[in-house]
């Protein structure tokens, strides 16, 4: 944005007062939709980012903070083992470059509020962690010219990301289960409901998570003739895996294997088995994804991905001028433990 373009410039171009332009950004309910759209369109045409101090701070290049965007409640960043590991790695690099982290949960129920939070945030860059493609907050980052690094792969050669091959990683699990003779499986996926909600069976089109979809495709590729059902007990959490597993374990149509698309859900399934005196790996196979610390203790077969290294690498791409790569694919590994065994006859 040119330094001469101010809120007064936009107001004069539209023929309204500066306070009306301010209301278009901060109090949209006080304006008609048509007037607000006209103001925002003119502001975009003139290159005006909005009446906030953070925009001025970014133009000076001295915000000293990286935003971490994720679509969930703030508590998720402190309770989910995968999120904790990722943030720990990112924080190591941020500390090295005397940069703070700003956690920015983008509510799926308040889309406009999330976009407004991104517009006002005083940040030099953004780490995109578990945000749905197409969220307007991502578009706002582009409009503000804020460098971003995502944890999801993108076909755009100009994009920056640090990720794993979700499909190939899940295919390793699928191959392992196929060798053990499993052909009737339940996959525990997360949804936007509260953790531990009433479990429901989903279609593939109802999954709504790109990473989950790729993992399911990887399983299907290695298990082409298998029956694969998708069950969700809410957002990604131990209690969601517990509730989802309860549904299938108490049915007459019990599968031979349960696949958690995260370790926390798989561990919830193992707890549901324990209360029913079922032994993982003998009575029914349970596998997970991520290899969080609790997975080894529980003897959970899973896919190991370098969680902390992912956070560190995102930090390098964002902050380290000597780190020249902007698209990094990290390795994964199948870790076989006692929770997986031959399909019972």
The pLDDT-based confidence of 51 (bands split at 50, 70, 90) is low
Intervals of CATH 3.40.50.2300 along the chain? 54-150, 166-305
The pLDDT-based confidence of 60 (bands split at 50, 70, 90) is very low
The pLDDT-based confidence of 105 (bands split at 50, 70, 90) is confident
The pLDDT-based confidence of 108 (bands split at 50, 70, 90) is low
Q: Which is higher by pLDDT, 272 or 235? A: 272
Mean pLDDT of 21-27: 80
Highest mean predicted confidence (pLDDT) among 67-76, 185-194, 214-223: 214-223
> What is the pLDDT, as a whole number, of residue 143?
87
Which strands, in side-by-side order, build the sheet including 257-260?
200-202, 227-232, 184-189, 257-260, 285-287
Mean pLDDT of 115-133: 88
Residue 343 phi, psi dihedral angles, 5° rounding:
-65, 130
Residue 73 clears pLDDT 90, i.e. is over it:
no
Mean pLDDT of 38-60: 70
Mean pLDDT of 281-290: 97
How far is 84 from 190, CA to CA, in rounded Å?
A: 18
Predicted structure pTM score: 0.79
Residue 283 clears pLDDT 90, i.e. is over it:
yes
Lowest-confidence range among 56-70, 169-183, 203-217, 254-268? 56-70
| DSSP bridge partners of 232 | 189, 200
Q: The tokens of 33 are what?
A: 């939709």
The pLDDT-based confidence of 52 (bands split at 50, 70, 90) is low
Q: Which is higher by pLDDT, 86 or 47? A: 86
Q: Which is higher by pLDDT, 182 or 140? A: 182
Topology of domain 54-150 in CATH is: Rossmann fold (3.40.50)
Residue 205 clears pLDDT 80, i.e. is over it:
yes
Tokens 């090295």 sit on residue: 96
Mean pLDDT of 175-181: 98
pLDDT digits (tens, 9 = 90+) for 206-229: 997 889 999 999 999 999 999 999
The pLDDT-based confidence of 33 (bands split at 50, 70, 90) is confident
| DSSP bridge partners of 228 | 185
Which strands, in side-by-side order, build the sheet including 100-105?
100-105, 65-70, 125-128, 148-150, 161-164, 327-330
Exposed / middle / buried, residue 142 (Cβ in 10 Å: 0-12, 13-18, 19+): exposed
Residue 173 clears pLDDT 50, i.e. is over it:
yes
- What is the three-class DSSP state of 47? coil
Residue 336 clears pLDDT 90, i.e. is over it:
yes
> What is the pLDDT, as a whole number, of residue 1?
43
Topology of domain 166-305 in CATH is: Rossmann fold (3.40.50)
**Cβ–Cβ contacts within 10 Å for residue 54, how many?**
18
> What is the pLDDT, as a whole number, of residue 274?
97
Q: In percent, how much of the chain has pLDDT > 90?
A: 66
> What is the pLDDT, as a whole number, of residue 227?
97
> What is the pLDDT, as a whole number, of residue 59?
44
Alpha helices in the chain (DSSP H): 7-14, 18-26, 33-46, 53-60, 76-79, 81-96, 111-120, 136-144, 166-179, 210-222, 238-249, 263-275, 293-298, 307-319
Residue 164 clears pLDDT 90, i.e. is over it:
yes
> What is the pLDDT, as a whole number, of residue 28?
77
């Amino acid at each position: 944005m040119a330094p001469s373009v101010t809120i007064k410039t936009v107001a004069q171009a539209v023929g309204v007062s500066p306070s009306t332009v301010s209301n278009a950004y901060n109090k949209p309910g006080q304006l008609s939709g048509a007037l607000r759209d006209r103001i925002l369109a003119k502001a975009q045409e003139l290159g005006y980012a909005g009446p906030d101090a953070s925009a001025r701070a970014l133009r000076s290049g001295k915000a000293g903070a990286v935003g971490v965007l994720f679509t969930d409640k703030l508590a998720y960043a402190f309770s989910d083992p995968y999120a904790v590991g990722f943030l720990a790695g990112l924080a190591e690099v941020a500390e090295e470059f005397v940069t703070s982290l700003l956690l920015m949960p983008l509510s799926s129920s308040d889309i406009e509020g999330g976009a407004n939070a991104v517009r006002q945030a005083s940040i030099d860059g953004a780490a995109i962690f578990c945000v749905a493609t197409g969220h307007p907050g991502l578009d706002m980052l582009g409009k503000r010219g804020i460098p971003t690094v995502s944890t999801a792969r993108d076909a755009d050669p100009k994009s920056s990301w640090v990720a794993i091959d979700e499909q190939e990683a899940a295919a390793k699990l699928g191959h392992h289960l196929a060798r053990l003779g499993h052909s009737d499986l339940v996959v525990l996926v997360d949804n936007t409901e509260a953790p531990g909600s009433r479990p429901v069976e989903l279609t593939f089109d109802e999954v709504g998570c790109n990473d989950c979809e790729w993992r399911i495709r990887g399983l299907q590729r290695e298990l082409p003739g298998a029956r694969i059902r998708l069950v969700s007990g809410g957002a990604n959490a131990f209690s969601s895996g517990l509730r989802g597993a309860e549904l299938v374990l108490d049915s007459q149509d019990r599968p031979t294997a349960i696949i958690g698309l995260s370790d926390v859900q798989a561990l919830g399934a193992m707890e549901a088995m324990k209360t029913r005196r079922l032994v993982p790996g003998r009575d029914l196979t349970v596998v997970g994804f991520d290899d969080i610390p609790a997975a080894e203790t529980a003897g959970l077969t899973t896919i190991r991905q370098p969680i902390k290294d992912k956070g560190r690498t995102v930090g390098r791409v964002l902050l380290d001028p000597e780190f020249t790569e902007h698209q990094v694919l990290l390795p994964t590994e199948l870790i076989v433990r006692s929770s997986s065994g031959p399909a019972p006859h």
